């Protein structure tokens, strides 16, 4: 008997071989007949306007076909769409080549199109531009005076109780300013688009994004395409981390060139241009925490400001996480944004929580030291089974188990409380911990299951696998539901013409698409049963559906393999060539109402700091995660590992550094924008604690894409304090800040 590869099996990725052998074709690799290549030219000033732009030299380069600027680009509906407002994923991004205005450094001001990438790149170097400069500001500090709270965020700025009275009566108070640097997403695959021009007015757009249908809708609207004439395909996405929630500007540039030249066009961003697309906003947060003599939180006051651009307003939930995880009667939350002359920021892995919760958990560590209590004990004293802001009970919350199992595996009880009290040779050893929290989201999704006479099952959904393992877990869910070996299941994702799904964001895919796939397969199972039991001389007798089992590619009476039929043969019985079932999940119907839905984690970090050099290394991390049901422990663990590695980057390395006089990012390459490399990564242990949940989503799944970064940076920062006695309140903790 073969193993059933269903929910819970630690399977390898079904698309792993295609990826490592290069058979997986990405957006910037799709072949197209007569393909042209576009290279974007960036503005040399940070703010102002173009006075004149001269492309005559570029046009003389052999192979250069056209140079698009704001003066000659085709007019499409995009340029008439309404401006500004909130920068959410369903809104068009910054409109490149719209007019002569320059809003940020390196803003694309021209697209050189050639018959080869090399010709286009050469041409791009020869475009000369005259500008009229205006003053700019890229410092968040200097913009704080102009901070403002967007209307739709005002109701989240909760005030309750009496913070000042609680603070006056407190046994301990922490009041400090914390900072997080601007960070940039760095997926392996740069943003890229290949527009295939079909000549009949329709186009196929191979684009890197986190939502084939969102990209289709946005591009169709921007370019005036009728329904069905623009299709977006993205079966493989080489990581995105939120950078693909909105289509990136190269998609619009490629479309503009295709429309103008009536040819297929490819535009791919360079690594440097990835710094002009989207980023995690910088944050400055003033935190006040107070507790009573029992170390129970008595006051929380948070005043956070994140950066946005001058052209749009990007907001996130920064201040809501700490008080959600650690309830407190007296609260004052104040979130606002301040505009800089940069591109608009956007979602980056656990947007808002990675910022707000990591800074909050550093402050919690400070409160523990101010009170002289163990940092873990402080969390346990303030533990709650209800959500601290909404006061709602959780669908499930196994954070207590996460604290316990994480602490045990890490060996937290062996820690000595005093900073600088643990050593290994020349190195100071520090142990720190933090709490993580993220939303357990379910979004609208649908999927189609099609079974043919050969017993092959095809699963189809517009959702794409952004590198997280979606394809694998969908195959698993389907195989498990119909008792098929994995080789008999094919998963088709990342195509806007497939059944509708929401964006691949917020760690929602496993719960949402997973439930749709499960439903579609269960619907198919019932059809198969009906077809078989309505046929003559079938082997099941008077058995009911609930007495059936699907195993080894057969439908059979539970426990009796002799009374069974192969699924493909049942399809044949129907007279059809295949049977199909489509199903959807709708959070408004399938979601729970009055309960809080969150994932949680307890993160424990060990750092070692060479006393003479001052260089911190993360030598151990333990993440105990409570995320409901885990479909595939292997791919789920990889998600947590990835989040933890990003957390290490956030704690010690990642920052987009401006030369503020020029308003330009100086470290715009992976040589100088530091992310952790293999040598920076040591032992990372991931524990999934048992968290049965029958309510968060139909499969009890909560999602694991983002929780791994939340709390990790704080645990490391707290470990650095424990090792060195120095409290650094500015992430990343670089050498200059630590020395």
Chain positions contacting ligand MOS, by CB under 6 A: 210, 241-242, 245, 347-349, 351, 505-506
Question: Checking DSSP bridges between strand 664-665 and strand 683-688, what pairing results, if any?
Answer: unpaired
| Least gap, CB of 716 to ligand MOS (angstroms) | 21
H helices of 76-139, where?
Answer: 117-125
Comparing CA positions, the residue from 273, 266, 213, 209 lying closest to residue 239 is 209
| Least gap, CB of 441 to ligand MOS (angstroms) | 9
Residue 440's φ and ψ, nearest 5 degrees, are -105, 100
Indicate the residue whose CB is closest to ligand MOS: 242
| Least gap, CB of 247 to ligand MOS (angstroms) | 14
Q: Are residues 702 and 628 in contact, defined by beta-carbon separation less than 8 angstroms?
A: yes
> 108 or 242: whose CB is closer to ligand MOS?
242
DSSP secondary-structure letter at 384? -
> 108 or 187: whose CB is closer to ligand MOS?
187
Comparing CA positions, the residue from 547, 405, 390, 736 lying closest to residue 726 is 736
> 351 or 616: whose CB is closer to ligand MOS?
351
Tokens 């006075």 map to which residue?
51
- Give every CB contact of residue 5 below 8 A, 6+ residues apart in sequence: 11, 475, 476, 479, 480, 485, 486
> 242 or 388: whose CB is closer to ligand MOS?
242
| Least gap, CB of 89 to ligand MOS (angstroms) | 9
Considering 66, 183, 691, 706, which one is annotated as catalytic? 706
712-724 helix and 353-371 helix, angle to the nearest 10 degrees:
30
Give the integer Cα–Cα distance in Å for 228 and 213: 11
| Least gap, CB of 234 to ligand MOS (angstroms) | 14
Is residue 732 reached through a cis peptide bond, with omega within 30 degrees of 0 on the bond before it? Answer: yes
Give the integer Cα–Cα distance in Å for 316 and 486: 40
> 109 or 283: whose CB is closer to ligand MOS?
283
312 is an active site residue: no
| Least gap, CB of 96 to ligand MOS (angstroms) | 22
Q: Are residues 127 and 297 in contact, defined by beta-carbon separation less than 8 angstroms?
A: no
> 245 or 456: whose CB is closer to ligand MOS?
245
Give the integer Cα–Cα distance in Å for 292 and 298: 6
Secondary structure (H, E, C), 142-182 = HHHHHCECCHHHHHHCCEECCHHHHHHCCCEEEEEEEEECC
| Least gap, CB of 507 to ligand MOS (angstroms) | 7
> 196 or 706: whose CB is closer to ligand MOS?
706
| Least gap, CB of 186 to ligand MOS (angstroms) | 13
Residue 494 structure tokens: 């990342």
DSSP secondary-structure letter at 548? E
> 247 or 616: whose CB is closer to ligand MOS?
247
Going from the C-alpha of 494 to that of each of 26, 206, 208, 322, the distances in angstroms are: 11, 10, 10, 36
Report the catalytic residues.
706
């Amino acid at each position: 008997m073969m193993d059933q590869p269903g929910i819970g099996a630690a399977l390898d990725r079904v698309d792993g071989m295609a990826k490592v052998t290069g058979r997986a074709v990405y957006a910037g690799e799709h072949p197209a007949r007569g393909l042209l290549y576009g290279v974007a030219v960036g503005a040399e000033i940070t703010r102002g306007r173009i006075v004149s732009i001269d492309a005559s030299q570029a046009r003389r380069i052999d192979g250069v076909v056209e140079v698009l600027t704001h003066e000659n680009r085709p007019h499409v509906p995009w340029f008439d769409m309404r401006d500004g407002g909130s920068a959410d994923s369903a809104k068009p991004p910054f409109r490149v080549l719209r007019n002569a205005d320059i809003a940020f450094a390196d803003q694309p001001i021209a697209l050189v199109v050639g018959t080869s990438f090399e010709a286009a790149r050469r041409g791009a170097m020869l475009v000369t531009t005259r500008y009229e400069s205006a003053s700019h500001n890229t410092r968040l500090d200097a913009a704080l005076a102009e901070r403002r709270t967007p209307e739709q965020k005002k109701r989240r700025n909760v005030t309750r109780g009496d913070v000042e009275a609680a603070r006056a009566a407190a046994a301990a108070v922490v009041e400090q300013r914390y900072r997080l640097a601007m960070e940039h997403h760095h997926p392996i695959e740069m943003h890229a688009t290949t527009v295939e021009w079909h000549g009949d007015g329709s186009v196929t757009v191979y684009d890197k994004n986190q939502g084939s249908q969102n990209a289709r809708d946005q591009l169709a609207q921007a370019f005036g395409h009728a329904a069905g004439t623009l299709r977006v395909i993205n079966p493989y996405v080489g990581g995105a981390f939120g950078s693909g929630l909105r289509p990136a500007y190269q998609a619009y540039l490629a479309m503009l060139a295709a429309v103008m030249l009536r040819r297929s066009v490819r535009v791919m961003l360079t690594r440097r241009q990835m710094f002009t697309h989207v980023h995690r906003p910088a944050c400055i947060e003033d935190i006040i925490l107070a507790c009573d003599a029992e170390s129970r939180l008595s006051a929380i006051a948070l005043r956070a400001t994140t950066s946005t651009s001058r052209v749009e307003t990007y907001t996130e939930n920064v201040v809501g996480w700490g008080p959600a995880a650690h309830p407190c009667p007296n609260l004052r939350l104040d979130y606002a944004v301040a505009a800089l002359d940069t591109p608009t920021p956007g979602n980056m892995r656990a947007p808002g929580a990675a910022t707000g919760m990591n800074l909050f958990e550093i402050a919690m560590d400070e409160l523990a030291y101010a009170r002289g209590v163990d940092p873990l004990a402080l969390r346990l004293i303030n533990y709650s089974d209800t959500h601290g802001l909404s006061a709602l009970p959780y669908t499930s919350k196994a954070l207590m188990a996460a604290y316990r199992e994480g602490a045990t595996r890490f060996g937290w009880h062996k820690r000595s409380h005093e900073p600088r009290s643990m050593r290994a040779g020349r190195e100071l050893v520090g142990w720190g911990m933090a709490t993580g929290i993220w939303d357990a989201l379910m979004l609208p999704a649908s999927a189609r299951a099609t079974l043919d006479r050969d017993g092959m099952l095809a699963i189809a959904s517009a959702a794409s696998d952004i590198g997280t393992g979606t394809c694998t877990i969908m195959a698993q869910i389907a195989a498990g539901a119909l008792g098929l070996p994995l080789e008999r299941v094919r998963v088709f994702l990342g195509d806007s013409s497939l059944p509708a799904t929401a964006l691949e964001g917020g760690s929602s895919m496993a719960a949402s698409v997973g439930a749709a796939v499960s439903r579609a397969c269960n619907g198919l199972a019932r059809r198969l049963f009906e077809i078989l039991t309505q046929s003559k001389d079938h082997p099941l007798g008077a058995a009911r559906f609930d007495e059936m089992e699907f195993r080894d590619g057969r439908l059979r009476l539970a426990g009796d393999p002799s009374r069974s039929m192969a699924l493909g043969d049942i399809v044949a019985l129907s007279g059809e060539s295949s049977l199909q079932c489509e199903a959807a999940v709708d959070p408004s119907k399938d979601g729970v109402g009055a309960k809080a839905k969150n994932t949680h984690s307890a993160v424990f970090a060990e750092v070692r700091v060479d006393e003479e050099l001052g260089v911190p290394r993360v030598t151990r991390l333990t993440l105990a995660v409570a995320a409901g049901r885990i479909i595939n422990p292997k791919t789920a663990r990889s998600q947590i590992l990835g989040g933890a590695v990003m957390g290490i980057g956030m704690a010690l390395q990642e920052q987009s550094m401006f030369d503020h006089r020029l308003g330009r990012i100086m470290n715009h390459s992976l040589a100088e924008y530091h992310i952790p490399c293999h040598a920076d990564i040591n032992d990372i242990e991931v524990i999934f604690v048992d968290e049965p949940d029958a309510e968060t989503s139909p499969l009890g799944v909560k999602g694991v894409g983002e929780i791994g970064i939340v709390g990790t940076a704080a645990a490391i920062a707290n470990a650095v304090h424990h090792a060195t006695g120095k409290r650094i309140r500015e992430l990343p903790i670089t050498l200059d800040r630590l020395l």
